């Protein structure tokens, strides 16, 4: 028998059932400690996908239960309709399944009021940003969605959404266009602006987004530039919770554990961390009551996380996918790759300009290895491998560049980059081909076609992709030689053998 669908009626009936018979009702999902409909919306979130549902929405759910307030979230999904179609018939309710060493646990989250699919209803998506009750706009749209040049902070005018919004700024569809349009309309309406909180894995994410928004404003509404510069806050943040894509197993386990059918369920790990620069002139939920760290300077936390966690993740993803390991937990179980990984993490730790206060980097690295090895998590290497050109600069190239400057050991970084290059060939060691899924895929494929299986030509061609590699690395003969040599080994002997060689004797 199919269990009933999760929605507000199910929630009310479940509360009733538990009140009537507390003993029989033991177990099941934890329920929101508040009445969701009793709270208004105060946040709009752009990019209402699984990560948002497993992270920021959970913190806000905790705050609503503890402090109350009108801080529910109206989600906007920019790409598809699936999120809206799954969540709206459930009155915004969904379940978070936490998989760790112990039995999985489930909780129903009530902080999302609804999700608007911008592709279906662009007008409603824009209107949501004009609601004067909205004080904060949060974003998890992925690195590639912004269209901001990392080095200069300027608009990438050829980026599809940016190009569209430059042509039709009154009907924006992209991130920067929508923010500028909404801020401009709010100003014209005499409403206060909102604070813009970027939650994507980008370095100095708030500063970067501010620069992009100001440049978009300069192009389409120059009179707004001084007002945005003075009135709108763009705090930085570091977000962390490993969230694999939901599968049928997620939905089946939720149905079994919670007793309801939830088509919007997400699964995640027990660990969660959120570090936020505390600059919210329009007000904010007390996220610190849910465990977030409110700080003056996010940079040390964010660099640590991008280089130690995400950099390690990318190595596991590229080496793992090519070697034939479907999941992160399998890749890290290989003793050779795991030793290379540890060296990369140590190198990443040594590359940090500043250490985050109150955190021992060695403990952080140990904890990461345990998190990656979580046997209950089916996190695909191929999922993480996506969008490499958007990810490797901050995860691997920045720490490599800095390590070279400090005359440290760049070998683990060169190995990780060679693994990315090997992945760019689009075929595993076992001969299975796959799509690269990278916004610069066509440029990469042109290099791969010209280079064949010649490690020197391939590495030189990929290192020459415009704006990708820092000059310091491109000009270093040591770095270039190491990358070409590792790539050659990977091509000649396979990824597992290349890992074994670099790892050395156990």
Contact positions toward ligand CS2, by CB under 6 A? Answer: 201, 240-242, 310, 313, 383-384, 391
Cβ 47 to ligand CS2 shortest distance, Å: 13
Cβ 263 to ligand CS2 shortest distance, Å: 22
Nearer to ligand CS2 (CB atom), residue 383 or residue 460: 383
Phi, psi of 5 (to 5 degrees): -75, 140
DSSP string, 65-80: HHH--S-EEEEEESS-
SS3 49: coil
Cβ 310 to ligand CS2 shortest distance, Å: 5
The CA distances from residue 220 to 42, 152, 209, 321, 339, in Å, are: 27, 19, 16, 43, 51
For residue 170, give the nearest of 116, 221, 135, 222 by alpha carbon: 221
Nearer to ligand CS2 (CB atom), residue 166 or residue 293: 293
Nearer to ligand CS2 (CB atom), residue 258 or residue 384: 384
Both ends of the chain: CA-CA distance in Å? Answer: 53
**d(Cα 215, Cα 218) in Å, to the nearest integer?**
5
**d(Cα 429, Cα 47) in Å, to the nearest integer?**
35
**d(Cα 466, Cα 77) in Å, to the nearest integer?**
31
Phi, psi of 293 (to 5 degrees): -100, 115
The torsion defined by the Cα of 60, 66, 71 and 75, in degrees rounded to 10, comes to 30
Cβ 56 to ligand CS2 shortest distance, Å: 12
Cβ 257 to ligand CS2 shortest distance, Å: 23
Nearer to ligand CS2 (CB atom), residue 64 or residue 202: 202
Nearer to ligand CS2 (CB atom), residue 61 or residue 380: 380
Distance of CA 169 to the CA centre of its chain: 27
Nearer to ligand CS2 (CB atom), residue 338 or residue 383: 383
**d(Cα 426, Cα 320) in Å, to the nearest integer?**
13
For residue 306, give the nearest of 348, 338, 268, 341 by alpha carbon: 348
Cβ 394 to ligand CS2 shortest distance, Å: 11
Report which residue's Cβ sits closest to ligand CS2: 313
Cβ 391 to ligand CS2 shortest distance, Å: 6
Phi, psi of 148 (to 5 degrees): -115, 130
Cβ 271 to ligand CS2 shortest distance, Å: 9
DSSP 8-state assignment for residue 308: I
Nearer to ligand CS2 (CB atom), residue 43 or residue 384: 384
β-pairing, 273-277 vs 293-295, is parallel
β-pairing, 237-240 vs 195-198, is unpaired
Nearer to ligand CS2 (CB atom), residue 39 or residue 391: 391
In 424-503, where does DSSP find H-type helix? Answer: 441-451, 455-463, 471-474, 477-493, 495-503
Cβ 142 to ligand CS2 shortest distance, Å: 9
SS3 136: strand
Nearer to ligand CS2 (CB atom), residue 90 or residue 246: 246
CB atoms within 10 A of CB 407: 7
Cβ 106 to ligand CS2 shortest distance, Å: 21
Cβ 33 to ligand CS2 shortest distance, Å: 26
Q: Locate 361 and state its tokens.
A: 């980097």
Nearer to ligand CS2 (CB atom), residue 328 or residue 485: 328
Nearer to ligand CS2 (CB atom), residue 388 or residue 488: 388
**d(Cα 413, Cα 420) in Å, to the nearest integer?**
11
**d(Cα 429, Cα 421) in Å, to the nearest integer?**
13
């Amino acid at each position: 028998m199919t269990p009933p669908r999760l929605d507000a009626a199910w929630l009310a009936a479940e509360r009733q059932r538990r009140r009537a018979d507390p003993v029989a009702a033991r177990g099941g999902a934890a329920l929101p400690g508040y009445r969701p409909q009793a709270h208004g919306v105060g946040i709009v979130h752009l990019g209402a996908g699984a990560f948002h549902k497993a992270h920021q929405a959970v913190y806000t759910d905790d705050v609503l239960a503890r402090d109350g307030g009108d801080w529910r979230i109206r989600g906007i999904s920019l790409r598809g309709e699936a999120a809206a179609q799954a969540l709206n018939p459930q009155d915004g309710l969904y379940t978070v399944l936490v998989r760790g060493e112990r039995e999985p646990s489930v909780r129903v989250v009530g902080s999302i009021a609804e999700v608007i699919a911008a592709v279906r209803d662009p007008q409603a998506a824009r209107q949501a940003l004009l609601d004067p009750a909205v004080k904060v706009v949060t974003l998890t749209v992925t690195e590639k969605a912004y269209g901001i040049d990392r080095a200069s902070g300027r608009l990438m005018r050829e980026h599809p959404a940016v190009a569209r919004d430059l042509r039709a700024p009154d009907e924006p569809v992209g991130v920067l266009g929508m923010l500028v349009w909404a801020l401009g309309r709010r100003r014209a309406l005499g409403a206060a602006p909102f604070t813009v909180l970027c939650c994507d894995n980008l370095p100095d994410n708030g500063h970067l987004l501010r620069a992009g928004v100001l440049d978009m404003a300069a192009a389409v509404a120059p009179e707004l530039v001084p007002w945005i510069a003075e009135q709108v806050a763009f705090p930085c943040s570091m977000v962390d919770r490993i969230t694999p894509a939901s599968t049928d197993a997620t939905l089946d386990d939720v149905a079994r554990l919670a007793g309801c059918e939830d088509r919007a369920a997400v699964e995640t790990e027990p660990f969660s961390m959120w570090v936020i620069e505390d600059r919210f002139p329009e007000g904010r939920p007390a996220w610190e009551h849910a465990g977030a760290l409110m700080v003056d300077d996010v940079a040390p936390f964010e660099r640590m996380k991008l280089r130690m966690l995400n950099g390690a993740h990318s190595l596991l993803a590229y080496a793992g996918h090519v070697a034939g390991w479907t999941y992160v937990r399998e890749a890290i179980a290989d003793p050779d790759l795991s030793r290379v990984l540890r060296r990369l993490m140590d190198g990443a730790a040594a590359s940090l300009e500043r250490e985050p206060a109150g955190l021992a980097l060695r403990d952080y690295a140990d904890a990461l290895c345990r998190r990656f090895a979580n046997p209950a998590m089916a996190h695909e290497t191929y999922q993480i491998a996506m969008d490499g050109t958007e990810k490797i600069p901050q995860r691997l190239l920045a720490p490599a560049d800095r390590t070279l400057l400090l005359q440290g050991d760049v070998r683990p970084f060169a190995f990780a980059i060679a693994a990315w290059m090997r992945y760019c060939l689009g075929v595993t060691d076992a001969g299975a081909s796959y799509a690269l899924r990278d916004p610069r895929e066509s440029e990469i494929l042109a290099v791969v076609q010209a280079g064949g299986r010649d490690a020197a030509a391939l590495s030189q061609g990929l290192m020459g992709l415009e704006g990708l590699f820092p000059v310091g690395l491109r000009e270093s003969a040591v770095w270039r030689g190491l990358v070409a040599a590792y790539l050659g080994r990977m091509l000649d002997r396979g990824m597992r053998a290349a890992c074994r060689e670099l790892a050395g004797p156990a």
